[in-house]
Chain A
Amino acid sequence: MNHYAVNLVLALLPEIALLAGGMLIVLLLATQSTAEGDCATTHRRAAWAALFTVFAAAMLLQLGPRVSPDELRPPAPQSHLLAASQPAGVVMLGPPVLALDGTTRAVRWAAIFMGVLLIGGNFGCPENVTSRLKMAGRGSPEFFMLLLFSLAGLMLVASANDLIVLFLAIELTSLPTVVAVVLSRPRHGAIEAGGKYFFLSALSVAFLLLGLAYVYGATGTTSLERITSMTAYGWAGAKGPIGLVAVSLVVAGLAFNIAAFPYHVYLADVYQGAAAPVSGWLAFVAKAAGFVALAKVLVAVAGPVRMFDLGWVGEPVWQRFIAGLAVATMLASNVLALRQRSVKRMLAYSSVAHSGYILVALLVVPEPGETLPIVAMFYLVGYGLANLGAFLTLSAANPDDSREADTFDDLRGLARRKMPLAVAMAIFGFSLMGLPITVGFMGKVFVFVGAYRAGFAWLVVVALINSAIGVAYYLRMVASCWLDVLDPASDDPSPVGRGSQGETAAPPRPTPSLVIAVLAVLTVGFGLLPAGLFRPMASERTVREILHPAPPPAPPRRPPLASAPARP
C-alpha cells in the first residue's frame, strides 16, 4: 500500500461508507427468505440500516481526515527516458483524479441531507402485505440500497477531476434510478416508465460519451485539471470546432439528466409511473449530478479561467448557449405544465422549468474554489425539499383507499378530509412558486441576484416572467385542495390519468406524516433562515458574501494564492 492509495481511500471515506452500507443491505436482503412472510420487517431493517449508513457517512464527512489536494496526486508512471535525467528521490506527480473543492463539500452535505429525507419518505411499509411483489411499488427494501449507491455516485460526481471518473460516477448515479422506477411495479405504467427511462438514458449516455471522447481526442488527456490549464494557455476550447462539437455533445448528454428542454420528454411519464419517493429522488439526485458534471466540463473546456488575483479571465463562450437553453427550457415546460390534468405530470413539467432556473444559476459567477455556484446547490436542495414534499403529500392524499390521488379533481376537498396534508401541500406549492418565507423564494432571490450581477439582466426578466406563469399551475394544485369548486375546464367527470386506473388493490401505504411535517417545517425554516442551509455547504466567507453582498464595485484585490503550498 502506497501513500497515494491510502490518501485516496481517506478522501473518499463518506462515499465508501455509503457503498459499503448499500452492500450490507444487499446481503441483508439476500439472507431474508424470498418466500412469503414478514417483508415488512425486512423493509424496516433495510430502512434503519440505510439511515444508519447515511449518519455514518455524515460523521465521517465531519470528523474524517482532511486530505490536501496535493496528497491526491498519483505518482506519475515511471518513464525509462526520464529516469536517467531524474534526480534521485524526486517523485514525479501526475494529475489527480479527485478534486475536493467547495462544490464537493456542498454536494456531499446536500446528498446526505436529502438522503435522510428520502429514506424517511419511504420508511413506512404496509403491515398486512404478504408477498414482496405486491408491496414493491409501496416501498421495496431494494429502494434503500439503490438510493445509497446513487447518493455515493452523486458525491463522486462532485469530487471527480477526470473524465473517466466523472462518467462512471454519473452512471453510478443514474443506473439505480432506472431500477427504482421499475421497482415501483404494481403501479400501472411503472414498467413503461422504466423502459422509456432506460432506453432514453442509454441514448443520452452515448451522446455524453462521444462528447467526452471528443474532448479527449482534442486535448490528449482525460484529466480535467490538464484540460483546464490547456484552455487557460491557449487551447481554443469551445471556440474551436472540435471543442464546440464536444461541448454540444456533452450538453446534449447531460441535458437528459437535468431534463432540459429538448430532452425533457421522458420526464412526465417517468414521474407518473414512479412511486412518490422515487420521483423525489429523481428530481434531486439526477438533477444535481447533471448540473455538477455540466459545470465541471464547461468550466474545464471553455473557461472562465480564474487567474490568481486577476479574477475571471476570458469570455466563456458557453454562457450564451446555456442562457438560450434556459430560456427554451423555461418557456416550453411552463406552457406544457399549464395544460396537464394529472398533478404528477404537472409536477414533472414544472420540474423541467426548475431546471431552467438552475441553468440560470449556472451563469452566476462562482466563488473561489467552486465549480458549480453555491446558489445553484441551494436552489437544488430547496427545490428537492418542496418537490419531495409535494409528491409524498400527493401519495398520501388518496381520495379513497383503492387508488392514489392523480388528477386535480382527486385533490378536491382535501382540506376537509385531511387538513394537515392540505396545509403541507400549500406550503410546498408556495415554495415551488417562489413566494416569500419559503426556501423556494430565497433560492430564486439568490439565483436571480447572482445572474443579474453576472450581467444577465435580460435573462432574469425572462425567468421572472416564467415564475409568474408557474404560479398559475401551482396555485391550481393548492386551490384544488382548498376550494371545493374547481374551474370548469378541469371539471371532467371521467379523469383519464393512467395512474389512477390500473392501480391494483395493493394496501395503501402508510402516510409518511412525520417526514411531510419535517419537510414543511424545513421549507419554511430555510426560507426564514437561509444561512441554516448554506452553513454546512459553504465556507464562512462564501455565506457572508452571498447573504451580505459587497456593493457592486470590483472586490479588493486579494494576495495571489497564499494557500497553494510549495511542492517538494
Chain B
Amino acid sequence: MRAAFVIASLESAAGPYPSDWLPVAMLVLIAVVFAVGTLALSAMVGRSRRGPVKDSPYEAGVVPVGDARRRFHVRYYVIAMVFLLFDVEVVLLFPWAVLFNADRSGFLLAEMFVFLAILAVGYVYAWRKGVLRFD
C-alpha cells in the first residue's frame, strides 16, 4: 500500500488521468494473480500421487474413523473457544514484550495487566459455568 501511495501521488501530480485507478487495479491484480498463481503453480510443479489416503478430506496421515456428520459434544466447541482466547492473548503478549523495554513509565505494564484482568474475568466465567468439567 505504501508503494501504491507513491504511485498515486505521482499520478495525481500529472493530472486526473484514467491511470489514477492504477493502484486500485494493481491491488486487484495482485490479489487475483496471487490466488490463481499459487494454485496453478502447485498444480504444475507439485507431483501428484493419487490414492485413497490422498483423496481423504484430511491429509494429515491419520485414517479417518467414521462419518464427519455426527453429533459432537458441545464441550468440544466451548473448549476450542477458550483455547482460541488464550492463543490470541499470547500472540498479543509477544509484541508487547518487545515494546515493553522502550517504555519506562509503566503505562504499558499497567495496560497489559488490565488486559490480563479482563481475560481472567472471562476465564472465571467459563470455569464457573462448567466448561472445564469433564464428568
Q: Please tell me if the beta carbons of B124 and A27 are within 8 angstroms of each other in the complex.
A: yes
Residue A369, interface by CB 8 Å? no
CB contacts (< 8 Å) of A5 on chain B: these are 105, 107, 110
CA distance A23 to B24 in the complex (A): 43
Residue A31, interface by CB 8 Å? yes
CB contacts (< 8 Å) of A34 on chain B: these are 128-130
Residues of chain A from 1 to 57 with CB closer than 8 A to chain B in the complex:
1-2, 4-5, 23, 26-27, 29-31, 34
Residue B96, interface by CB 8 Å? no
Q: Please tell me if the beta carbons of A242 and B24 are within 8 angstroms of each other in the complex.
A: yes
CB contacts (< 8 Å) of A219 on chain B: these are 5
The size of the chain B interface, using a CB distance under 8 A, is 24
| Residue of A with least CB distance to B4 | A217
Residue A216, interface by CB 8 Å? yes
CA distance A448 to B124 in the complex (A): 51
How many A-B contacts at CB < 8 Å in the complex? Answer: 57
Q: Please tell me if the beta carbons of A218 and B124 are within 8 angstroms of each other in the complex.
A: no
CB contacts (< 8 Å) of B130 on chain A: these are 34
CA distance A4 to B103 in the complex (A): 13
CA distance A213 to B1 in the complex (A): 9
Mask for A220-233, Cβ within 8 A of B = 1, else 0? Answer: 10000000000000
Known: A30-B124, A240-B20, A241-B24. A218 touches B110 (CB 8 A): no
Mask for B97-134, Cβ within 8 A of A = 1, else 0? Answer: 00000000111001000000010011011011110000
Q: Please tell me if the beta carbons of B20 and A30 are within 8 angstroms of each other in the complex.
A: no
Q: Please tell me if the beta carbons of B105 and A217 are within 8 angstroms of each other in the complex.
A: no
CB contacts (< 8 Å) of B1 on chain A: these are 213, 216-217
CB contacts (< 8 Å) of A27 on chain B: these are 121, 124-125
Chain A interface extent, by class: 20 to 34
Known: A34-B128, A217-B1, A218-B8. A1 touches B118 (CB 8 A): no
CA distance A5 to B113 in the complex (A): 14
CA distance A54 to B69 in the complex (A): 46
- CB contact between A242 and one of B8, B107, B122 (< 8 Å): that residue: B8
- CB contact between B128 and one of A1, A31, A218, A236 (< 8 Å): that residue: A31
| Residue of B with least CB distance to A145 | B125
Known: A1-B107, A2-B105, A241-B24. A30 touches B5 (CB 8 A): no
Known contacts A5-B110, A240-B12, A241-B23; 5 further A-B pairs (Cβ under 8 A) = A27-B124, A27-B125, A29-B125, A218-B8, A242-B23
Could you list which residues of chain A lie within 8 angstroms of chain B, going by C-beta atoms? 1-2, 4-5, 23, 26-27, 29-31, 34, 213, 216-220, 236, 240-242, 245
Could you list which residues of chain B lie within 8 angstroms of chain A, going by C-beta atoms? 1-2, 4-5, 8, 12, 16, 20-21, 23-24, 105-107, 110, 118, 121-122, 124-125, 127-130
The 3 closest A-B pairs by CB, nearest first: A217-B1, A30-B128, A2-B105
